[in-house]
């Protein structure tokens, strides 16, 4: 694994142990990402909590792992927890653990994330989703550095470093009263904001090439490459799903490829449409009627989705088609993932 500046080829120096290999997908070339990597090297040796914000798919967990690897805790556990799926007793059990007999079904002692992290790093993904009642419990542990397993009587020490991540705007949540201000300030000692992929286009092609090599090796495909027009389409696309979307796309292209060059026509139609808006008049004149109809239908579906706030029966009504026809069109034009992201965002 290599962590390096793809332009200079230089490894990022570790503050105490020299050159260090870490996550390969953390490829950077833009000035903004270089600055963030410098920041990571600067704050990694400390115990200060770090709050990473950014859109879904920008690499927040990779950045958290980078901080962990560069720190003096690098050989200790890195424990990620998705806070977005936890609430109530499930939240407490996940973080605090439990003693045998603490509740029905507790047949043995179970360590929680506070304990599993030991003196390593506890990564809180989607920290903005922690339910308000549980925010109080979490804050108490951060302040007292102690916790008890559910059903336990003995205090356990909490020694891990906290790195949190969110795609929510936490200051707004604090103003709205849905996220505790004291917990926010406790987590936001070192704020880091990861830019979306559309703002660092220099990284699109290196990342695409990295994923292409990775998945060709995984699926035993050889001789695959991306044609010039394919590259142009990738560079013009706005990547609402960021690096995760690019990675998933390349994996699908490799799986479905029969060898040779990956053509622009192999890409989802919505991506091709984004490229045709900047195409020359001569290129536009070569569009078939079928392509023009498909592009128009995709635009209509996307506009109706926005107007109906994702309500499928309402989308079908606005388009004057049946729900079944809508489902077929979404599948035909490979729009399901894009619409799901819009609904989530």
Tens of pLDDT, residues 246-301 = 999 999 999 988 878 888 888 887 787 665 444 444 444 445 676 777 778 888 88
The class of domain 13-195 in CATH terms is: alpha beta
Element (H, E) at 213: helix 204-218
Q: What is the pLDDT of residues 97-121, one digit of tens each?
A: 877 666 767 777 788 888 899 999 9
C-alpha to C-alpha distance for 202 and 39, rounded to whole angstroms: 20
Q: What is the pLDDT of residue 345?
A: 57
Q: What is the dihedral of CA 278, 310, 340, 331, to 10 degrees?
A: -70
Per-residue pLDDT band at 45 (split at 50, 70, 90): very high
Q: What is the pLDDT of residue 274?
A: 60
The mean pLDDT value for 62-78 works out to 92
Per-residue pLDDT band at 333 (split at 50, 70, 90): confident
Per-residue pLDDT band at 53 (split at 50, 70, 90): very high
Q: What is the pLDDT of residue 154?
A: 84
Label the pairing between strands 50-53 and 18-19. unpaired
Among 103, 206, 197, residue whose Cα is nearest residue 149:
103
The class of domain 197-267 in CATH terms is: mainly alpha
Contact 325, 316 (CB under 8 A): yes
Q: What is the pLDDT of residue 280?
A: 41
Contact 257, 222 (CB under 8 A): no
Q: What is the pLDDT of residue 288?
A: 65
Contact 275, 264 (CB under 8 A): yes
Residue found by looking up tokens 């990620």 in the block:
80
Q: What is the pLDDT of residues 164-192, one digit of tens each?
A: 999 999 999 999 999 999 999 999 999 99
**Is pLDDT above 90 for 245?**
yes
What's the chain's average pLDDT?
82
- 3-state DSSP of 223-260: CCEECHHHHHHHHHCCCCCHHHHHHHHHHHHHHHCCCC
Break the chain into its structural domains and give their ranges.
13-195, 197-267, 285-345
Q: Does 342 or 11 have the greater pLDDT score?
A: 342
3-state SS class at 265 = helix
Label the pairing between strands 146-147 and 13-14. unpaired
Q: How many CB atoms lie within 10 A of CB 62?
A: 19
Q: What is the pLDDT of residue 223?
A: 84
Contact 211, 250 (CB under 8 A): yes
Q: Which residues touch 345 (CB under 8 Å, ≥6 apart)?
A: 56, 240
**Is pLDDT above 70 for 3?**
no
Q: Does 260 or 203 have the greater pLDDT score?
A: 203
Contact 170, 163 (CB under 8 A): no
Contact 190, 67 (CB under 8 A): no
């Amino acid at each position: 694994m290599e962590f390096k500046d793809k332009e200079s080829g230089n490894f990022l120096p570790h503050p105490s142990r020299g050159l260090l290999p870490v996550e390969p997908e953390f490829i950077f070339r833009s000035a903004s990402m270089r600055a963030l990597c410098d920041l990571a090297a600067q704050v990694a040796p400390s115990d200060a909590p770090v709050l990473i914000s950014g859109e879904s798919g920008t690499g927040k967990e990779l950045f958290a792992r980078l901080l962990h690897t560069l720190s003096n805790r690098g050989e200790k556990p890195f424990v990620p927890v998705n806070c977005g799926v936890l609430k109530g007793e499930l939240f407490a059990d996940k973080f605090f653990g439990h003693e045998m007999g603490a509740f029905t079904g507790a047949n043995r002692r179970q360590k929680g994330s506070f304990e599993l992290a030991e003196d390593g790093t506890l990564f809180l993904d989607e920290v903005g989703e922690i339910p308000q009642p549980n925010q109080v419990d979490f804050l108490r542990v951060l302040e007292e550095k102690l916790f008890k397993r559910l059903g336990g009587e003995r205090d356990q020490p909490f020694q891990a470093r906290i790195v949190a991540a969110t795609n929510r705007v936490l200051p707004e949540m604090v103003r709205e009263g849905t996220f505790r201000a004291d917990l926010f300030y406790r987590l936001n000692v070192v704020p880091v904001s990861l830019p979306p992929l559309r703002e660092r286009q220099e990284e699109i092609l290196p990342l695409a090439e990295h994923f292409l090599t990775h998945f060709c090796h995984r699926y035993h495909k050889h001789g695959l490459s991306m044609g010039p027009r394919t590259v142009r389409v990738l560079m013009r696309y706005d990547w609402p799903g960021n690096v995760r979307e690019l990675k998933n796309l390349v994996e699908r292209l490799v799986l479905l490829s029969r060898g040779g060059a990956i053509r622009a026509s192999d890409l989802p139609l919505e991506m091709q449409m984004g490229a045709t808006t900047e195409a020359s008049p001569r290129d536009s004149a070569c569009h078939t009627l079928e392509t023009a109809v498909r592009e128009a239908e995709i635009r209509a579906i996307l506009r109706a989705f926005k107007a109906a706030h994702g309500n499928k029966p309402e989308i079908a009504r606005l388009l004057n088609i049946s729900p079944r026809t809508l489902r077929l069109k979404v599948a035909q034009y490979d729009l399901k993932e894009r619409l799901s992201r819009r609904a989530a965002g």
